């Protein structure tokens, strides 16, 4: 049973800021209508410049993430440069499309910063959509989308993008029964590094969101 855990719902978002890409996700893993885990990992580092969020089958996602990490290392060894988010997402799209008759039940948001910030959605059938502002996946998409549509601004700072991502996930946690968990996971990708925010740092942004909502 543990190896066959399936997330039937989640909320993950990606936001392009002026100097960074921000990925955020809830941390509840569900098995049917059971809230199976409260601290599930949903954001994965692929390289020092690229990470992704996953929604769907945990087992399928983990297999594909291993493929991607191996492909990224091979690319960098062969070409002596970092693989770009677009190249990595294209490889993922090809793998998913080749298996469309017996699909991997997983959806991804690929975010990275190689030369420039990039954000790409990849569906279980290999559809690839490059986003210029933000991307979403999971059962809480419509709730998070309302927040992002309303509050997103071009050339946001890294801090503004983090706050907006936390606000979007928080809104979904309140209303979508399949989005939850003990906290919100946030990863920030810049030209130099990938940083995962601590629970205290995320809580600081969550307090800002709640303070503004109560005004």
> How far is it, in rounded angstroms, from Cα 204 to Cα 104?
37
Q: Is residue 81 part of a domain?
A: yes
Spatial contact of 28 and 38, defined as CB atoms under 8 Å apart: yes
53 carries an active-site annotation = no
User: What strands lie across the sheet with 106-114, from one edge to the other?
Assistant: 43-45, 50-56, 106-114, 116-122, 128-131
- Exactly one of 10, 11, 47, 84 is catalytic; which is it? 10
Is residue 197 a part of any domain in this protein?
Answer: yes
The pLDDT assigned to 1 comes to: 34
Question: Is 215 a domain residue?
Answer: no
d(CA 136, CA 84): 20
Q: How many domains does the chain have?
A: 1
CATH of the domain at 118: 3.60.20.10
Summarised one tens digit per residue, pLDDT across range 119-177 is: 999 999 999 999 999 999 988 899 999 999 999 999 999 999 999 999 999 999 988 88
Q: 20 near 67, Cβ under 8 Å?
A: no
Q: What is the pLDDT of residue 162?
A: 97
Q: Residue 92: which of 57, 66, 56 has the closest Cα? A: 66
Q: What is the pTM assigned to this prediction?
A: 0.91
Which residues, listed in sequence order, are joined to residue 142 by a DSSP beta bridge? Answer: none
Q: Which of 111, 136, 92 minimizes the C-alpha distance to 49?
A: 111
Pairing of strands 194-196, 134-137: unpaired
Domain presence at residue 57 = yes
Low-confidence ranges of the chain (pLDDT < 50): 1-8
Q: What's the chain's length in residues?
A: 215
Range of the domain at 166: 2-210
Instruction: State the distance between the two ends of the chain, measured CA to CA, in whole angstroms.
Output: 46
Q: How far apart are CA 75 and CA 62, in angstroms?
A: 20
196 inside domain: yes
Burial 140-173 (b: 16+ CB within 10 A, else e): bbebbbebbeeebeeebebebbbbbbbbbbbbbb
- Give the pLDDT confidence score for residue 40 in this predicted structure: 85
Q: Is residue 182 part of a domain?
A: yes
């Amino acid at each position: 049973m543990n190896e066959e855990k399936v997330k039937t719902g989640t909320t993950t978002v990606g936001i392009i800021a002026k100097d960074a890409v921000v990925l955020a996700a809830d941390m509840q893993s569900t098995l049917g209508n059971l809230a199976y885990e409260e601290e599930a990992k949903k954001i994965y580092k692929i390289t020092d410049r690229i990470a992704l969020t996953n929604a769907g089958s945990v087992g399928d996602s983990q297999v594909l993430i291993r493929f991607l990490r191996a492909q990224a290392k091979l690319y960098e060894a062969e070409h002596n440069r970092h693989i770009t988010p677009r190249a990595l997402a294209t490889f993922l799209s090809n793998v998913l499309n080749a298996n469309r008759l017996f699909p991997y039940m997983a959806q991804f948001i690929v975010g990275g910063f190689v030369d420039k910030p990039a954000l790409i959605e990849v569906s279980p059938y290999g559809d690839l959509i490059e986003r210029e502002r933000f991307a979403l996946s999971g059962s809480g998409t419509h709730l998070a989308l309302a927040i992002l549509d309303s509050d997103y601004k071009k050339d946001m700072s890294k801090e503004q993008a983090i706050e907006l991502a936390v606000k979007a996930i928080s809104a979904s946690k309140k209303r979508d029964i399949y989005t939850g968990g003990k906290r919100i996971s946030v990863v920030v990708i810049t030209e130099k590094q990938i940083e995962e925010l601590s629970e205290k740092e995320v809580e600081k942004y969550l307090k800002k969101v709640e303070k503004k909502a109560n005004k």
